[in-house]
Amino acid sequence: MRFMRTQEDWSVFLEQRDLMTSPPSWLNDWQGDGIISRGSTDEMIEAAVQRNIPVVELNDRSEVDKAHVRSDDAKIGEMAARHLMERGFQHFAFCGFDFEAWSQRREEAFVKTIQQEGGHCDSFNSPWMNLARPWEEDQQAISQWLQTLPKPCGIFTCNDLRGQHVLAVCSTLELTVPEEVAVIGVDNDELLCQFCQPPLSSVIPNAEAVGFLAAERLSRWMKGESHHESQQVVAPTGVATRLSTDVVAIDHPEVASALAYIRQHACEGLTVDEVLQNVAVSRSTLERQLRRYLGRTPQQEIRNVQLKRVRELLVTTEMAAEQIAYRAGFDHPEYMHYVFKRDLGMTPGQYRQSVRGQEN
């Protein structure tokens, strides 16, 4: 749509079709000038060639040798690896889909980046859901695999849907996320990522740039410029960090348990004494280790989790600040305002306005 606005004579027909279906019957006598397609079959390409219609392909499910624009899966895999390594993980794993070229490319890049830094990566792949075995069987296979992995472990999943699969199994196995298992997906599907428990971190592909470049390429071709059957890949824009990887890997089991307890109960008015009553660790050890790993005291970590919850509710809901304060475990809204401004340099209302202004 953004590219269309730069053209005076573009008229676009949009048809949503299943991937890999037969060519539409209207193609036989269509009077159009060019096609952008995702999932073109050989039959569709042949039909377009016979009518001398340029086709730019967006399919990433298999390797193609025609005009092609897609996300840079190698950069996506590398970015996910860097994200997990920066959090101090020593053990890594990949969970993807068999027979999907985009998943395989992301896995290869992820594993290569980990190995270049001297690390090791385990992998699990199964066929795309609904194409092979039932959901329950696939979940059981993931469960068996997860139990074999050393902990703590950073897991990269080929997309956000696969990330949801892994997080669902972690919940069943009572594995704490992100302390024992940290998970990052791909696509930054806001609804799906927030639907996960905890919310899923995700690599952000530049999907709009893929569409823009495809339209730009088709436009040049339709104007008679020379065409080369080549691929064009678009790098991801970054990582949307959410709770599923918002952690520093800690190899001290008791301290990791204390941190998990803080993350689970900080918004219930938690105190440091209550943490110590529920986790087998001394106050001095907890203080020392959290300063070492996080640079914060236990009390500061409780407050840090509360403020993250405040920021999340400010952005994702229309709740008043007073309601948010109670949801985040503050006894008095005035104190939440004070802490928020002290630590972030602005009031909750100013923060909400600034974030929504950036989105617009």
Cβ–Cβ under 8 Å, residues 73 and 135: no
Please tell me the distance from the alpha carbon of residue 355 to that of residue 314, in angstroms, as a whole number: 9
Question: pTM of the full predicted structure?
Answer: 0.75
Residue spans of beta strands (DSSP E) within the chain: 35-37, 55-57, 68-71, 91-97, 120-126, 153-157, 181-186, 201-204, 231-234, 238-240
For 272, the token pair is 């440091």
Q: 28 pLDDT band (50/70/90 cuts)?
A: confident
Alpha-carbon separation of residue 218 from 70, 211, 229 (angstroms)? 14, 11, 12
Q: Is the pLDDT of residue 238 over 80?
A: yes
Which pLDDT score is estimated for 131?
54
Q: Give tens-digit pLDDT for 106-141.
A: 999 999 999 999 999 999 999 885 555 688 889 999
**Class level of CATH domain 253-357:** mainly alpha
Q: Is the pLDDT of residue 47 over 80?
A: no
Q: Angle CA(292)–CA(311)–CA(269) in degrees, nearest 5?
A: 65
DSSP state of 117: T
Which pLDDT score is estimated for 359?
53
Q: Angle CA(186)–CA(107)–CA(21) in degrees, nearest 5?
A: 70
Cβ–Cβ under 8 Å, residues 246 and 178: yes
Give the residue with greater pLDDT, 158 vs 14. Answer: 158
Each domain of the chain, given as residue ranges in start order, spans 73-206+240-245, 253-357
- The CATH superfamily assigned to 73-206+240-245 is Response regulator (3.40.50.2300)
Cβ–Cβ under 8 Å, residues 121 and 145: no
Locus of tokens 């790098």: 235
Please tell me the distance from the alpha carbon of residue 309 to that of residue 201, in angstroms, as a whole number: 15
Q: Are strands 201-204 and 238-240 parallel, antiparallel or unpaired?
A: antiparallel
Alpha-carbon separation of residue 116 from 18, 100, 169, 347 (angstroms)? 39, 24, 30, 44
Locus of tokens 């997906």: 185
Locus of tokens 């998943």: 103
